[in-house]
Structure 1
């Protein structure tokens, strides 16, 4: 078994479930200590810090040949979302290898990148490889709840660990998309939507369930949510999305009509869910709370809505939500900003060269992520971010459905491919 597969398997076996939206119930300590030990075994000097009891974070810096250049941050999160084992084909934290895949929660979100990064850092240290510039590796808690105990906390309390960092790579990108026959594009995230977790509350008049009620908060809230569900936010073609669709058109020979991007998205197969969600803002109800007894109309009803807005649409999104939901709905929210950068520069060229060396003829394409990552925290330090966790995937694998899904898994050869690409990138970045 290769080192990167062994590392990923052991990482999956640590249950680092982050079960609550506020990150209050996560526990990354054992996984973080495992990472720190593996780095120290190779002669490195990792820094281990806890933002709260058992919320472990690990950071290590590899000095580069040119300390005057801006450093590169390579980061990954250790926490995972919950997994109901009764729904899985294998136990989600067993790290089982079956059919050429490593199965388990976190296999692609994102312990695969953590394993690749640890393997590369160890190799550089053991073989005396000096990268062109400083490389900072960070292995983080709490990304799945916004990073308040991980990236966000480190930016607030240990900013010195990232001194001199100007660029970063992490999730979600670097994975292959088979465009046709044996032609692959590798998606690089250059933008991601902003996140807004809305807390909705409606008040009404409580009373006996057998009576006539005209001020039922449950009814008022569900009507507002139905309006939200029926609403279609305006289509906005962001440059990252336009460049991706134009690149696919160039590779396939099927023209891309900029006046009808939805038609181009519809031709993307399983990738259409991911790209389609970046054509407009979205708002999905995820939690409903109301009442405590079947024959009592409650005085309040509450809901949580997961809102995602395109770069530049933050204020317009807020106004549109308030108008749709109406005056009866009290609104409060937590918000993380969009992230965006251009698809150019030496780092992009180095990524392309590293992919080309391992997959000749492949092409990199920029795209926008509909979700969010720890880039939202690191951009507060002025760090330019790219999603690049390289994996060469089989054409038939519905990769995007595995994020937070059932039977999450990663091909073993994709892990080894990713380690080779990351090694090439960090030797030339």
Structure 2
């Protein structure tokens, strides 16, 4: 009986992973990643790869495996994916988000693009190589993490802080949110993530004088906080073209004031032309006729590589003298040169599968586990290759309703990753 190839397996692997509820609401109270981790470990061990599960807390499981390469003296390559997904309201979906159903040529479900598709592709390629007795040119570390959707405290950061031995010799990495195609007219571009904005989730707090709601009170904490939140939310941040963004705009042959021409892609590109700060939560008071002595808000801030100092100087000015801030999450911005052997391997693997495609760099407005791995000096890129239909709003799938990935795209991704590993 002919063994199944990675292309044969990847769809079933993706569907199986989607059917495992690994929802992460950020409160450490959900089902956790253990069942998904056990599934991944089992699939690796079936083909003779030793998998290790490490838990940072109850059910917060991470899976690690190391594949010895032909030349272990070279820097090792990390392939990473996270096992958790964001919450969902099943009533809003056409197909249940835990069904892994195949419909309209796609696999549907929470995690289909973020990022159980890439988990499945990594698994499929690793199983294919192991079953065939193939070894990569250099050592490859496979890492499937917990908690990425809530900042990685139970996942990537836990591993970096407590298990540095797992990263021995690792110099480069590939992970999520890159390598997907975007069609612009008769051009098909593959966006490889080469930079990420930094993260500053901030809790704002105002204190005032408590009192009766019917009386005059010039020291109202709600008013102070509301003014600060409004100033931040309405602030128009200046355009700042980082090297990665400038190169992408040059490839697209557009200026920063022309991004509306990019259709759905404009959401992604527009968010990386400048720093951003969006108020997301607001809380204050406990009774209609009581002026509270304090009020709080949360702001989701994202700063471009090289502009962190400018970002916080502006935020502090907008806060005013009577509102303080503290971090809920604070993570670095990243930017890596779009050059060198690893980048050439990604570009070549893509064009060998799609001769009409062109690999270009872009900046991610969000963040990935690469922020944690970069603390060990690891250079990394977003490279989860998918050739997508021109009319699919891919960026809208992330954390969105009716998340899905085309079956053909998953198989394409396996072929590209197979070529990439051989070239890397």
Indicate the TM-score class for this superposition, using the shorter chain for normalisation: over 0.9
Among 401, 407, 423, the residue aligned to 1:406: 401
> Does residue 320 of structure 1 match 2:326?
no
1:110-151 deviations in Å (ceiling 9; x for gaps):
000000001111111110111111111100000111111101
Contact 1:97 1:103 in 2 (8 A): yes
The equivalent residue for 2:210 is 206
1:196-255 deviations in Å (ceiling 9; x for gaps):
110101112223333333322222211111111121122110010011111122xxxxxx
Contact 1:289 1:303 in 2 (8 A): yes
Unaligned stretches of 5+ in structure 2?
1-6
Instruction: Determine the C-alpha separation between the residues in 2 that align with 1:10 and 1:97.
Output: 12
Deviation (angstroms), 1:26: 6.0
The equivalent residue for 2:387 is 392
> Does residue 267 of structure 1 match 2:261?
yes
Scaled by the length of structure 1, the TM-score of the pair is 0.95
Superposed counterparts of 1:16-415, under 5 Å: 16-20=22-26, 23=28, 25=30, 27-181=32-186, 183-249=187-253, 256-257=254-255, 261-263=256-258, 265-333=259-327, 334-415=329-410
Deviation (angstroms), 1:24: 6.0
The equivalent residue for 1:4 is 10
Scaled by the length of structure 2, the TM-score of the pair is 0.96
Instruction: Determine the C-alpha separation between the residues in 2 that align with 1:2 and 1:67.
Output: 30
Aligned residues: 417
Unaligned stretches of 5+ in structure 1?
250-255
Closer, same or farther: CA 322–26 of 1 in aligned 2, 3 Å: farther
Deviation (angstroms), 1:68: 1.1
1:7-41 deviations in Å (ceiling 9; x for gaps):
11111111111112x65656000000100000001
Comparing 289-298 and 375-384, the one that deviates more: 289-298
Instruction: Determine the C-alpha separation between the residues in 2 that align with 1:312 and 1:248.
Output: 23
The 3-state SS of whatever aligns with 2:153 is: coil
Deviation (angstroms), 1:89: 1.7
1:183-203 deviations in Å (ceiling 9; x for gaps):
210001111010011010111
Contact 1:73 1:167 in 2 (8 A): yes
The equivalent residue for 2:3 is none
The 3-state SS of whatever aligns with 2:57 is: coil
Deviation (angstroms), 1:172: 1.1
Deviation (angstroms), 1:293: 2.4
> Does residue 15 of structure 1 match 2:21?
yes
Contact 1:262 1:276 in 2 (8 A): no
Deviation (angstroms), 1:95: 1.3
Deviation (angstroms), 1:266: 2.1
Deviation (angstroms), 1:86: 1.9
Instruction: Determine the C-alpha separation between the residues in 2 that align with 1:119 and 1:381.
Output: 28
The 3-state SS of whatever aligns with 2:215 is: coil
Deviation (angstroms), 1:394: 0.6
Instruction: Determine the C-alpha separation between the residues in 1 that align with 2:233 and 2:300.
Output: 12
The 3-state SS of whatever aligns with 2:13 is: helix
Contact 2:22 2:30 in 1 (8 A): no
Deviation (angstroms), 1:358: 1.1
Instruction: Determine the C-alpha separation between the residues in 1 that align with 2:330 and 2:29.
Output: 18
Comparing 72-81 and 209-218, the one that deviates more: 209-218
Instruction: Determine the C-alpha separation between the residues in 2 that align with 1:58 and 1:273.
Output: 33
